[in-house]
Structure 1
Amino acid sequence: MVVLATKVYVRGEARERALDALRSLVDNEIGDLDVEYTVGVRHDDFAVVTIEGGDEVVARNVLREAFGEITPDFEPGETYVGTLEAWDEDGFVLDAGEEVRVPAGELGLGQGTPVQIVERFGLVQHVPLRFVYGGEPADGSEDEEAGEQRPHRLADEERDRLFDWTRGAGRVNVNSATRGEVRATVNRAGHARDIVTVERLGLLEQSIVCKDETDPPGLLAAIGDYLPAEIRCVIP
């Protein structure tokens, strides 16, 4: 079994559509392998894939690489994936199967409070983010001698990805909708020619990549009435 680092938090018909989309994504990744699998949702809304067959080890590794994995154990200094659950003046709170608080000083995303950083980088709730687990320092380290625990921090590759967002043509980030639903919404609003693509961040978290001449706030206003979602812009 693999617990994927993406959540299914919508309900009703939207939940069934999300699970259908997840089955398609999983099939794209491991459908050609010698395995049988079932897709489900854990009590805390994380997606779960149960796998059996000759290629099950390979299949698990493929899904871990594609989605990230929620694990029961953490090693200090290793990189994991959690979903952004909350933020305040003190930092971010990620859900990685347990609550992981990343202090404001460990975000590494430039000036401003965590609340301002969320707005600047267009972060929406539940988006998967990579972080480095802190906790007890390694044996023999200076931190150990000082009796200090290292704080959790955003991973360098996550910081680089978010900074790249601010150097492009602009984005509109959305949660609570599959990639197909977001693409259909953009088409319905008559803006298919104004975007480059819809980039999947998680199962229900998407990033609409705008063309150079497209105004992200204008696109947000155009699609907002069609999507019952949290929507934020990234403005270069």
Structure 2
Amino acid sequence: MVSLATKCYVEGDARERALDSLDSMVANDLADLDVEWTIGVPDTEFVSVTIEGEDANVARNLLRERWDEVTDHFDHGEVYTGTLESWDGQKWVLDAGKDIEISGEDLGLGPGDPRQIRDRFGVVQHTPLQFVYDADGGHRLADEARDQLYDWTRAEGNGGRLNVNSATRGEVRATMNRAGHARDVVTVERLGLLEQSVICTEGTDPPGLLASVGEYLPAELKCVVP
């Protein structure tokens, strides 16, 4: 079994759609392998994939490479992935199977307290983020995560971003089309199963886009303005 570093925290029909979407992605990734799989959502909400068959080990490694894995074993100085669980004026807390507290200083994302930093970089709850584990508790955000967030704030052929949780990539794309904003979107980048980043075209105003589509998405939405 592989415990993917992405969560499924919606219920009812939304959960069915999310798991159907994941099943399609897994089927595409493992299409050439001799395996069968079952997808589940335990109480932790981290999606698990149980794999059987001749190519099971290869399949597990492919899924780990794509989604990263939640583990119960941590080595000092190694990089792992957790999802943003909570935040306050002192820290971010990532869920990596256990709570990982990262102080504002160890976020390494410039001025402001952790709440202000989250707003500035548009990080929605449950976004997967990489961190460096410290056996003494001084965990820090990994360079890979810092680079990713700083890249969001750089206007390189786009007009900023609108980050969304609680919706699949397909649902976000459909919502943009339904709200008449297809021309305002370069693409929708998948951050996790239910966390997406809408890359806006040049000249698009992300706060205006948020105001326009917010009524269609029962989700947290945050803007990134270059």
TM-score range, shorter chain: over 0.9
Residue 155, structure 1, aligned to residue 155, structure 2: no
Secondary structure in structure 1 of the residue aligned to 2:216 = coil
User: Structure 2 CA distance, aligned partners of 1:192 and 1:81?
Assistant: 32
Q: After TM superposition, which residue ranges in structure 1, 4 or more long, deviate above 2 angstroms? A: none
5+ residue gaps, structure 2: none
Residue 196 of structure 2: aligned partner: 206
Task: Please list, as runs of the form range in 1=range in 2, the aligned pairs for 1:80-229 lying within 5 A after superposition.
Answer: 80-135=80-135, 149=136, 151-168=138-155, 169-229=159-219
User: Structure 1 CA distance, aligned partners of 2:132 and 2:200?
Assistant: 30
Residue 234 of structure 1: aligned partner: 224
Secondary structure in structure 1 of the residue aligned to 2:94 = strand
User: Structure 2 CA distance, aligned partners of 1:172 and 1:150?
Assistant: 32
Shift of 1:16: 0.6
Q: What RMSD over aligned residues (CA atoms) do the two structures have, in Å?
A: 0.8
TM-score by length of 1: 0.93
Counterpart residue type for residue 160 of structure 1: D
Computing the radius of gyration over CA atoms, which structure comes out larger, 1 or 2? 1
The number of equivalent residue pairs is 223
Shift of 1:31: 2.3
Shift of 1:150: 5.5
Counterpart residue type for residue 118 of structure 1: R
- Between 1:31-40 and 1:6-15, the stretch displaced more is 31-40
Residue 145 of structure 1: aligned partner: none
Counterpart residue type for residue 37 of structure 1: W
Shift of 1:224: 0.2
TM-score by length of 2: 0.97
User: Structure 1 CA distance, aligned partners of 2:27 and 2:34?
Assistant: 12
Residue 47 of structure 1: aligned partner: 47
Shift of 1:235: 0.4
Shift of 1:104: 1.1
Counterpart residue type for residue 144 of structure 2: E
User: Structure 1 CA distance, aligned partners of 2:3 and 2:187?
Assistant: 28
Counterpart residue type for residue 151 of structure 1: G
Counterpart residue type for residue 159 of structure 1: R
Secondary structure in structure 2 of the residue aligned to 1:6 = strand
User: Structure 2 CA distance, aligned partners of 1:28 and 1:96?
Assistant: 26
Shift of 1:161: 0.7
User: Structure 2 CA distance, aligned partners of 1:42 and 1:24?
Assistant: 20
